[in-house]
Amino acid sequence: MTHVLEAGIEHLNIVNPNGSPSVRGWNIINGQLKQASDGSTFKSINPAWLQDCVGEFPLSTEDDVHDALRAARDAFSNWSNTPAPTRGQIIGNMGRLLMEHKDAIVAIETREIGKTLKESAGSVQEAIDTCLFFQSEGRRLYGQTVNSELPNKELFTYRRPLGVCGIINACNFPAAVPFWKMIPAIMCGNTCVWKSPQDAPLLSFILARIMHESGLPDGVVNLIHGKGSGAGQHLVNAVDKGMVNKISFTGSTAVGKMIGETCGRNLVSCSLELGGKNPLVVMPSANIENAVEGAYWAAFGTAGQRCTSLGNLIIHNDVYDEFMTKFMAKVESTSIGDSMRNDDVLYGPMLSEKYASDFLNGLEMCESSGARKIFGNGRITNENKPSGFLGDASEGVYMWPHVYVDVTEDMECFHEEIFGPVVTIVRTESFEHGLHLANASPYGLSSACYTNDRLEAYQFKSGIKAGMTGINNSTTGAEAHLPFGGVKGSGNGTRESGIWVIEAYSYWHAVNDELSGKLQLAQMDVDEIEIEEAEVDYTTLA
């Protein structure tokens, strides 16, 4: 077997896709490069250039997943007993290596999933920031000392790791999100089996390779490739077999509920970061130009393929006409294309053909709901393209930006997430009605309100049911030191990022250290303190 450190990333032609060969990809199990046990493979295709096969990767079997889980279990004892500051130092090394190879990693992310180079750079920078944040948390993995109610007794609390963590992330942020999950997990002393996104296996391999080069011991992070319905499902099913102590998942609400049910019946912790129908409310006091810019980016950045993308744009009647005139001027001039071959495009292709198919089904739902389309015409072709499209449309999987108006609360498209470049627009006659509409969908991930009325801003952030809120800012955007996650149909209350995520990857251990040499029972052996009534002559206090 070949060790992962022998597969140097300098040998991978990942910067320039033109004519570059496909990469032969591998699983990484206990530090060893392995193919699927039955030899099955799948291909990663560049969605901006469908003739470009990025690489061929193992289609992992249940046996492969179980091998990875056993490797993680075997590595857990030594890793969890490694001093936390040492674990933090290795994580710091990861951040420095990511910085060293950032340009190459950004290029492969753009090539593999079609994001613009600028957005890919943001995703990779988020992974770097996460490493730099958590390298010092290894020196702050604090417990507490607690005063006992009994004499000669000491009480302590410690944070302990959970064990083996199954990591499953979507492909739209293939650098940032897995690092949000795995960096705090391994910092707390856990080990991981990471099921890479089916549409970003090469980037995942590069990142896992960097983690090992940083000094991470074999078996602490194991990488398996494959489909969600295959390797991903095998990883979730392993919870029923007692092989997994934690599942962290980013993806659809339907799949998240299934994972939650599996973990729940086994009393296993799960972190679920799911979908959203994120509202953005525009009030009359808002700076309209600023609101248009924020709504435009939230709706169409990343081709609308963010869980925090704008869903329902809720506009007050008093500024509706002005806002829509300026908003549609931007939409109609949107620049679309492959950012590796064209400068200054707002967004590139869909993440894959599957995402494109799902998006077109979502547009059909808008039509059947009764919403009125004022811009957009499905998939871009050379015969059917907006004025801002750059390049040869037949080469990739591109979509028009879509705008639907006259949307009301009773429509299906008001409530359901549509993953792609589309926004549904709703009118409101008051702030109270706008807040009601913002809370009316079954999701609660991100939200925003544009207003310069400070009372409205306060009432919005107090009344909205969402995990994240922007005031005079977009629904999108996250920072490595802030909690990320949602409520209602958007998650189960757990959070990614910042110090809060430590709660998701550790448990509290209370220790009672008896020094008296005898049995002392709390609540039973505590001496009662007698209360003596003071004799006071109240007449002298007048």
Q: How confident is the model at residue 12 (pLDDT cuts 50, 70, 90)?
A: very low
Cα gap 480→175, rounded to integer Å: 13
What percent of the chain lies above the pLDDT cut of 90? 90
Contact 377, 360 (CB under 8 A): no
Across the range 190-205, mean pLDDT stands at 98
Is it true that 25-274+496-505 and 278-484 share their CATH fold?
Answer: no
Query: Does the pLDDT of residue 15 top 60, yes or no?
Result: no
Across the range 435-463, mean pLDDT stands at 98
What percent of the chain lies above the pLDDT cut of 70? 95
Q: Identify the helix (H) or strand (E) that includes residue 509.
A: strand 506-514
pLDDT at 20: 53
Across the range 159-174, mean pLDDT stands at 97
pLDDT at 529: 73
Cα gap 206→1, rounded to integer Å: 19
Radius of gyration of the chain (CA): 26
Most confident option among 134-138, 141-145, 200-204: 200-204
pLDDT at 479: 83
Q: Is the dihedral of CA 86, 91, 94, 95 positive or negative?
A: negative
Q: Respond yes or no: is residue 307 known to be catalytic.
A: yes
**Tokens describing residue 123:** 């995703």
Chain centroid to Cα 378, Å, comes to: 27
Please write the tens of the pLDDT for every residue from 479-531.
888 999 999 999 999 999 999 999 999 999 999 999 999 999 888 887 777 77
pLDDT at 525: 80
Q: Identify the helix (H) or strand (E) that includes residue 340.
A: none
**Candidate from 141-155, 237-251, 525-539 with smallest mean pLDDT:** 525-539
pTM of the model: 0.94
Query: What CATH topology corresponds to 25-274+496-505?
Result: Aldehyde Dehydrogenase; Chain A, domain 1 (3.40.605)
| Annotated catalytic residue within 263, 307, 366, 449 | 307
Across the range 108-119, mean pLDDT stands at 97
Query: Does the pLDDT of residue 13 top 50, yes or no?
Result: no
Q: How confident is the model at residue 8 (pLDDT cuts 50, 70, 90)?
A: low
Cα gap 364→41, rounded to integer Å: 34
Nearest to 170 by CA among 406, 439, 392, 351: 351
Burial 524-535 (b: 16+ CB within 10 A, else e): eeeeeeeeeeee
Q: Which homologous superfamily does the CATH classification assign to the domain defined by 278-484?
A: Aldehyde Dehydrogenase; Chain A, domain 2 (3.40.309.10)
Query: Does the pLDDT of residue 21 top 70, yes or no?
Result: no
pLDDT at 10: 47
Please write the tens of the pLDDT for every residue from 420-439.
999 999 999 999 999 999 99
Across the range 263-272, mean pLDDT stands at 98
3-state secondary structure of 488: strand
Cα gap 14→120, rounded to integer Å: 14
175-180-183-187 Cα dihedral, nearest 10 degrees: 180
Across the range 100-111, mean pLDDT stands at 97
pLDDT at 7: 65
**Tokens describing residue 57:** 């990767």
Query: Does the pLDDT of residue 72 top 60, yes or no?
Result: yes
Across the range 248-268, mean pLDDT stands at 97
Higher pLDDT, 540 or 531: 531
Nearest to 98 by CA among 26, 176, 181: 176
Nearest to 89 by CA among 135, 129, 128: 135
Across the range 250-260, mean pLDDT stands at 96
Query: Does the pLDDT of residue 62 top 80, yes or no?
Result: yes
pLDDT at 11: 44
Domain ranges (residues) in the chain:
25-274+496-505, 278-484
Q: Rounded mean pLDDT of the chain? A: 94
